[in-house]
Structure 1
Amino acid sequence: MTATTKSAVTTRGRVWWFQWVSYALALGDMAALLVAFYLGRLSHAFYFHLNPAWVLLHWWGSYAQINLLLFLVLSALGIVAFAFKGHYSRRKAFWDETGEILGTFILLLILNAAIVFAGKWQMSRLWLFSTWVLVMGLLPLTRWLLRRALQSLGGWARPVVIIGCGQNAAEAVRALNSEPMLGYTVERVLLPGGCSLDARSFPAHAAIEALGEDPLTTLARLGKPHVVLALDMDQWELQERLVRSLGLNYPNLTIAPPLRGLPLFGMEVMHFFSHEVLMLRVRDNLSRFVPRITKRLFDLIAASLLVVILSPLLLYIAWRIRREDGGPVFFIQGRVGRQGRQFGCLKFRSMVMDAEDRLKQYLRDHPDVAAEYERNFKIRNDPRVTRIGKLLRRGSLDELPQLFNVLRGDMSLVGPRPLLERELDRYGKNICLYRLVYPGITGLWQVSGRSETTFDERAQLDAWYVKNWTLWYDIVILLRTIKVVLRRDGAY
């Protein structure tokens, strides 16, 4: 058997396997939906103080038949919607896929409730709502477990080749490596003609070889893997030729265009019939009235709930700070907010009361530390931090009083870092985007390394956040903040 024949056999086997994986994912979704419907009845049992085991083991009466039929119809609509969005045929990043799942089921919940209330059907409303809430948790969990099982069996990994050699290709590799549950394994980096690459600086443990004069032959020899075309701006003409030659043979060709600084989530694509012209209409979400109101309402509701829930912890921390040295509980520092207005940023005091004088003396005595402070305005093993302050900083608990800044309208739960006056010039051109929104207690920079990120990287992350804001991404950043704080990544 020749190498070409072996490659063809391998390719057919791989296609067959991925088709069955798609079926397994769809069946997993169906199973999760049915389990949620079955367990949703438990809320009814708990509310009316019934025996849960008895409720689950007995049929629930004739009205349950209507509920079951309606749920099955709506579930089928959900499965069709996921298939249409490519959940079973294409790989999606975890948070993007989860956002689509929640959005789909919220719409189905509203539709389910509207049908029941409008028809005045005799069925348990509590059962209806608890079922869809369970679905929103069980279905993502089922998908995750299935993919982990397939990953452990070696059946989830999908080989990928990157065509490129510059910064754009390197960023594409980093992006794929940051989402292990995608299952994309970068096996090779193919270099187009006239392209050289420094393997030591490239973030891939993969073979590097030439693309060759005939890209289709090279890819066929490699078993027709998933292709990501990631050329740089100076290779635009080459990219156009490769898109034309590969597009017909690779219907799922992925293109990573060398475009930076665009508001990806506020962009509309314009097509023109019979013209090979693509136009992108840019609009920053947070420059519009409705998204700003939505963000503010979310901040008020979430911050109010957090203050109520965390009030015992807030009182305990205040008592510990006061007990340690008898000084003030809060440290109020002037920060720059939206439209450049100054406000008093609240924190639990984590330093000694003469912190500024001690800082000046410490930097004079340790000039090597002065360079680190100039870069990030932070010091490892800061001698000014109190005993309770070290604990607060490790868990970022010193920032909890900023919830009151959110309620007062000075800050947002998620947003750019609240800047000091001396830091404004270092933001450069990005400062105009920063002034569109309120600074945040947490932000994209914090979940991307916290104190380990450089100041310039923070500025770039803040600019990306402002241009690409969505309410779902605020929720994602808050969830990832909890993970980062619990792991204590980069905090000091």
Structure 2
Amino acid sequence: MKSEVTICARVRWLQWVPYILVLGDMAALWAAFYLGRLSHAFYYHVDPGWVLLHWWGSHAQINQLLFLVLSTLGIMAFAVKGHYSRRKAFWDETGEMLGVFILLLALNAAIAFSGKWQLSRLWLFSTWVLVLGLLPMTRWLLRVTLLRLGAWVRPVVVIGCGQNAAEAIRALNSEPMLGYSVQRVLVPGGCSPAAGSFPTHAPIEALGEDPLATLARLGKPHVVLALDMDQWEAQERLVRSLGIGYPNLTIAPPLRGLPLFGMEVMHFFSHEVLMLRVRDNLARLGPRVTKRLFDLVAALLLVVILSPLLFYIAWRIRMGDGGHALYAQERIGRNGKPFGCLKFRSMVTDADARLVEYFCVHPELKGEYERTFKLKNDPRITSIGEFLRKTSLDELPQLFNVLRGEMSLVGPRPVTAKELQKYYGDVGELYKLVHPGISGLWQVSGRSNTTYTERVYLDSWYIKNWTLWYDIVILLRTVKVVLRRDGAY
């Protein structure tokens, strides 16, 4: 009885959540509009407290009307994209939010500079800068609050018994702000999952002969149907039953190896046929040009901003042992062309001889080096070199590789010809389609703690699913990983 009351209370809360999210966005937008007036205070040397405590009356009517129209359009755009009715992964929602923001800013600029109305451009543009910070922060705070109250938590049941179900659980667990909580794993008849095959502490039980009755007993939770490819035909009756009689259903099809981002769904009238149109972005000229322009502009800005740090590091290395500050390792680039991958020297000048001596004393560590090409306590690394590696500052000279067109800011890990031949297999041809990157998915997913097989998988996923927004996300996450020094040695 108590569980039924809890379920009913949660359902009532969930019904109000979309309205709470809308009100939160409206509050963030209008708070940004109100605080945007501070730019006038700073620009005209007026007391900020006086500005905030005194409304401007008729002088602000045009600004109010314009911002009201633009903010209403923004709320409508978020509603159409499902920000209030559907739950989305954090970075996907943030990317859509940024796209709406850019559109509204462009409309604001077009109206502000048309010259037809007397309005404060400084106020309006300051408002949109504040919106860019306040809107995501307000959403995050609201969802954290709702999670703590239990109003944002949505029970999820995963149906499956193989790798696809395990991957679906990992994906849900990786996005805690979605609020999806895996309560059970239901195993269809005829399946027997291996012990410890699911990355969850949730109970694992049989789905039973009547799936709808089982789900009704569990309170009609949200269901993720994650069958493996070889199970779809055997479970056709289950799929049909859930598809017709269960409204809270998400299907996780076992589609590995395909470019998932931007995939278009094709439906055919009166036919039970679903076709997926694949779009490989980096195979097209437009996206490649966009990526190259982004690399050039961003790398040039970074070189200018970081030039004092670059000179200082070079000076410290030279002062250490008198050797060269930079060195170039041969790596394989786009179209299989070798290039010199630049780094600040972090090893002693007789590194090769030191490594041979080290393996003579510690032969058991040779296997680790051959698997990962790294050692956790590498005897060749200098004192300044250890700091450079832990902070990834040794890779800053690769900005010049980017400017020379040999690398990208984000891409697959630059590898040697030996690594490419030994570990990449068929993925090697995919690797050669793009420039290797200073950072990449492998770096923000565990760095040196990932296995080589995982690195190859992450590289191939990135190439097949590239978007400019994903590059920006990876760069932002790289900063976080470097500051925390996760997995670096």
Q: TM-score, normalised by structure 2?
A: 0.96
User: What corresponds to 2:477 in structure 1?
Assistant: 480
Write the deviation string for residues 373-398 of structure 1: whole angstroms up to 9, x where unpaired.
Answer: 11010011100000000100111110
Match of 1:29 among 9, 25, 28: 25
Change (3 A) 1:183 1:311: same
Q: How many Å separate the matches in 2 of 1:25 and 1:233?
A: 38
Q: How many Å separate the matches in 2 of 1:395 and 1:419?
A: 20
1:345, CA displacement in angstroms?
A: 0.9
Change (3 A) 1:239 1:130: farther
User: What corresponds to 2:427 in structure 1?
Assistant: 430
Q: How many Å separate the matches in 2 of 1:207 and 1:234?
A: 24
1:71, CA displacement in angstroms?
A: 1.1
Q: How many Å separate the matches in 2 of 1:109 and 1:252?
A: 37
Write the deviation string for residues 189-213 of structure 1: whole angstroms up to 9, x where unpaired.
Answer: 0011111123423211001111111
* Native 8 Å contact 1:187 1:207 kept in 2: yes
Q: How many Å separate the matches in 1 of 2:408 and 2:40?
A: 38
1:209-288 to 2 correspondence within 5 Å?
209-288=205-284
Match of 2:103 among 103, 107, 122: 107
2:60 is equivalent to residue 64 of structure 1? yes
Write the deviation string for residues 82-138 of structure 1: whole angstroms up to 9, x where unpaired.
Answer: 122221222111111111111111111112222333353211222222211211211
SS at match of 2:346: coil
User: What corresponds to 2:198 in structure 1?
Assistant: 202
SS at match of 2:368: helix
Match of 1:42 among 32, 38, 41: 38
2:360 is equivalent to residue 364 of structure 1? yes
Change (3 A) 1:239 1:259: farther
Q: How many Å separate the matches in 2 of 1:308 and 1:441?
A: 17
1:247, CA displacement in angstroms?
A: 2.8
Which letter does structure 2 place at the counterpart of 1:353?
T
Match of 1:440 among 427, 431, 437: 437
1:477, CA displacement in angstroms?
A: 0.3
Which letter does structure 2 place at the counterpart of 1:189?
V
SS at match of 1:384: coil
2:275 is equivalent to residue 318 of structure 1? no
SS at match of 1:275: coil
146-155 vs 239-248, greater mean Cα deviation: 239-248
User: What corresponds to 1:457 in structure 2?
Assistant: 454
Q: How many Å separate the matches in 2 of 1:198 and 1:344?
A: 47
Q: How many Å separate the matches in 2 of 1:182 and 1:371?
A: 41
SS at match of 2:114: helix
1:238, CA displacement in angstroms?
A: 4.5
SS at match of 1:201: coil
2:119 is equivalent to residue 120 of structure 1? no
Which letter does structure 2 place at the counterpart of 1:309?
I
1:47, CA displacement in angstroms?
A: 2.6
* Native 8 Å contact 2:10 2:150 kept in 1: no
Change (3 A) 1:13 1:239: farther
Change (3 A) 1:157 1:263: same
Q: How many Å separate the matches in 1 of 2:197 and 2:241?
A: 30
Q: How many Å separate the matches in 2 of 1:359 and 1:154?
A: 55
1:148, CA displacement in angstroms?
A: 1.2
2:414 is equivalent to residue 418 of structure 1? yes
User: What corresponds to 1:148 in structure 2?
Assistant: 144
Q: How many Å separate the matches in 2 of 1:86 and 1:67?
A: 28
Q: How many Å separate the matches in 2 of 1:266 and 1:431?
A: 23
Q: CA RMSD in A?
A: 1.6
* Native 8 Å contact 1:11 1:224 kept in 2: no
446-455 vs 353-362, greater mean Cα deviation: 353-362
1:43, CA displacement in angstroms?
A: 2.1
Q: How many Å separate the matches in 2 of 1:127 and 1:252?
A: 45
Change (3 A) 1:118 1:55: same
1:14, CA displacement in angstroms?
A: 2.5
* Native 8 Å contact 1:82 1:88 kept in 2: yes
Q: How many Å separate the matches in 2 of 1:273 and 1:304?
A: 52
* Native 8 Å contact 1:321 1:327 kept in 2: yes
Q: How many Å separate the matches in 1 of 2:239 and 2:192?
A: 21
Write the deviation string for residues 347-385 of structure 1: whole angstroms up to 9, x where unpaired.
Answer: 010000011222223223322111001101001110000
Q: How many Å separate the matches in 1 of 2:225 and 2:474?
A: 29
* Native 8 Å contact 2:189 2:208 kept in 1: yes
* Native 8 Å contact 1:330 1:347 kept in 2: yes
